[in-house]
């Protein structure tokens, strides 16, 4: 339990440092917009409940995958292919900036202010 709390503290600290980074804010905004657009699409086209659609989008963008849901329409399958190519890079870039905030918080600060 102590290990979990220490890890959680490091994660929250990394996210705090990352939010000070303008590059992270741009990636965060684009990733949130990607999740929102995917959620709306799967809700309307595939008929998923909004929480199921959001969950499917999150597991798709993190490349975890969903064992039970597969888009049923041709349009849904085509959208999913484009969605993966567009969103996976954004998601991993955002995760990389959080990791940089955890491991190298001072380096992010010097990137922001190269004085």
What total of structural domains would you count in the chain?
Answer: 1
Distance of alpha carbon 24 from alpha carbon 34, whole angstroms: 15
57 in a structural domain:
yes
DSSP assignment letter at 115: -
113 in a structural domain:
no
Per-residue pLDDT, averaged over 35-41, amounts to 96
pLDDT, greater one: 51 or 105: 51
11 in a structural domain:
no
61 in a structural domain:
yes
74 in a structural domain:
yes
Residue 82: CATH number of its domain: 1.10.287.70
Side-chain-side CA neighbours of 92 within 13 Å: the count stands at: 10
Answer yes or no: are the C-beta atoms of 71 and 101 closer than 8 Å: no
What pLDDT score does 84 carry? 92
Distance of alpha carbon 48 from alpha carbon 46, whole angstroms: 6
Distance of alpha carbon 40 from alpha carbon 49, whole angstroms: 10
Domain span holding position 52: 17-103
111 in a structural domain:
no
93 in a structural domain:
yes
Q: Does residue 17 carry a pLDDT above 80?
A: no
Tell me the pTM: 0.77
9 in a structural domain:
no
């Amino acid at each position: 339990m102590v290990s979990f709390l220490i890890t959680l503290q490091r994660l929250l600290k990394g996210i705090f440092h990352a939010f000070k980074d303008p590059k992270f804010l741009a990636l965060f905004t684009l990733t949130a917009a990607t999740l929102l657009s995917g959620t709306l699409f799967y809700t309307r086209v595939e008929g998923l409940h909004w929480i199921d659609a959001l969950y499917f989008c999150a597991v798709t963008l993190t490349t975890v995958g969903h064992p039970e849901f597969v888009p049923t329409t041709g349009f849904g399958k085509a959208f999913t292919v484009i969605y993966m190519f567009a969103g996976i890079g954004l998601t991993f870039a955002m995760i990389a900036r959080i990791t940089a905030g955890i491991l190298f918080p001072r380096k992010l600060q010097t990137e922001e202010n190269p004085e």
